[in-house]
Amino acid sequence: MAAEPIIQVEHLTVGYAQDGEQTVLLQDVSFQVLRGEVFAILGGSGSGKSTLLKHMIGLLRPIAGRIIIDGDDIVAANRAERRSIMRRFGVMYQMGALFGSMTTLENVRLPLEEFTEFDDEAMDWIARTKLYQVGMSAAAHRMPSELSGGMQKRAAIARAMALDPAIVFLDEPSAGLDPITSAELDRLIVRLARTLGITFVVVTHELPSIFAIADRVILLDPRLRGVVATGTPAQLRDSSDPRVHQFFHREPEEVMP
């Protein structure tokens, strides 16, 4: 696979304004995601990783910087351009965010109905192939409330892949899952990345999952308001930087009295 960047984050500064005061969460962050890789954004609670994700998928606007997705800057884009960029990626939200009023199949069908010209039968069939790819064929006609947490997330991945995006963003895929289900989801992500060539950007803090799926990771640190380290999971694990070491070896901030 050619190591060509598909996402470029350049000099990004993000934060939020509350009561007229501006709090900067990340200062001057730059990194690249390469086509076809599984890229993980790591960090503890409050390090701004979810905020970074929300900026990358265009839900929030940064204070400064550029985010280039597949050649187009999503920050500078106007509404119409932004929507066309958004169609090139899929997002799986932390809790799946399946629409509770529709069956699993209808959830996957929805983007096809809105953005393609396929007839009903073709859309049903495409949605079924997506569900098959995540191992959810049997649950096609069940409502999201009847699915377990792991199944909801798999269905959400199928929905994110409905339009064959080049990139899929995953927000905390292992949140709220037991280790076995979480490992199954990891295997699914790796399989989809390898067979379909989809680029995955995963926000997580689960160490086992990072070693199982990620080609490269960046580690965010709230004290630094930016990226502490970039590299393969193994490189970061063996890093001599105390902050990286602390994260990868699960050392608590302070020793409890």
Partner 1 sequence: MSSSTAVEFRRGAQEWVVALAGALDAESLPPIWARARAALSESGGAPLRVDAAKVTYCDGSGIAFLLDLRREALRHGSRITIANLAPRFAELLAQFDRASLDDASEAAPARQPRLTEQVGRAVLQLGADLRRQWRYVRRVMVCLLYELRHPSVVRWKEVLSVAEEMGVNGLPVVTLIAFLMGVVLAYQSAVPMRQYGAELFVANLIGLSMIRELAPLMTTIVLAGRTGAAFAAELGTMKVDEEIDALTTMALDPLRFLVVPRVIATVSMTPLLTIYAALVGLLGGGLVMLTFQIPLITYFKQIVGVVSIGDFTGGLFKSAVFAFLVATVGCGRGLEAQGGPRAVGLAATRAVVSTIVLIVVFDGIFAVVFHLFGF
Helix (H, G, I), strand (E, B) or coil at 26: strand
Q: Which of 64, 71, 129, 232 binds partner 1 (CB under 8 A)?
A: 129
CB of 244 to partner 1, least distance (A): 36
Question: Which residue, among 167, 172, 155, 232, has the nearest Cα to 197 in the 3D structure?
Answer: 167
CB of 129 to partner 1, least distance (A): 4
Q: Which two tokens stand for residue 233?
A: 């999971």
187, 219 contact by CB (below 8 A): no
AA identity, residue 171: D
Residues 12-31 that bind partner 1 (CB under 8 A): none
The dihedral sign for the CA sequence 168, 171, 172, 178: negative
Q: Which residues pair with 217 in a beta bridge?
A: 40, 231
Question: Which residue, among 107, 6, 98, 91, has the nearest Cα to 55 in the 3D structure?
Answer: 91
φ, ψ (nearest 5 deg) of residue 118: -65, 150
AA identity, residue 141: H
Q: Which of 137, 230, 239, 246 binds partner 1 (CB under 8 A)?
A: 137
Q: Which of 100, 250, 252, 257 binds partner 1 (CB under 8 A)?
A: 100
Q: Which residues pair with 167 in a beta bridge?
A: 89, 199
Q: Which of 11, 61, 141, 187 binds partner 1 (CB under 8 A)?
A: 141
| Rounded distance between C-alpha atoms, residue 170 and residue 186, angstroms | 11
Q: Which of 16, 122, 178, 224 binds partner 1 (CB under 8 A)?
A: 122
252 binds partner 1 (CB under 8 A): no
175 binds partner 1 (CB under 8 A): no
Q: Which of 107, 133, 152, 209 binds partner 1 (CB under 8 A)?
A: 133
1 binds partner 1 (CB under 8 A): no
Site string for partner 1, 181-200 (x = CB under 8 A): --------------xx----
245 binds partner 1 (CB under 8 A): no
Query: Of the two residues 61 and 87, which places its CB atom closer to partner 1 in the complex?
Result: 87
φ, ψ (nearest 5 deg) of residue 135: 70, 35
**Which residues form the interface with partner 1 (CB under 8 A)?**
100-101, 103, 112, 115-119, 121-122, 125-126, 128-133, 137-141, 144-145, 161, 163-164, 195-196
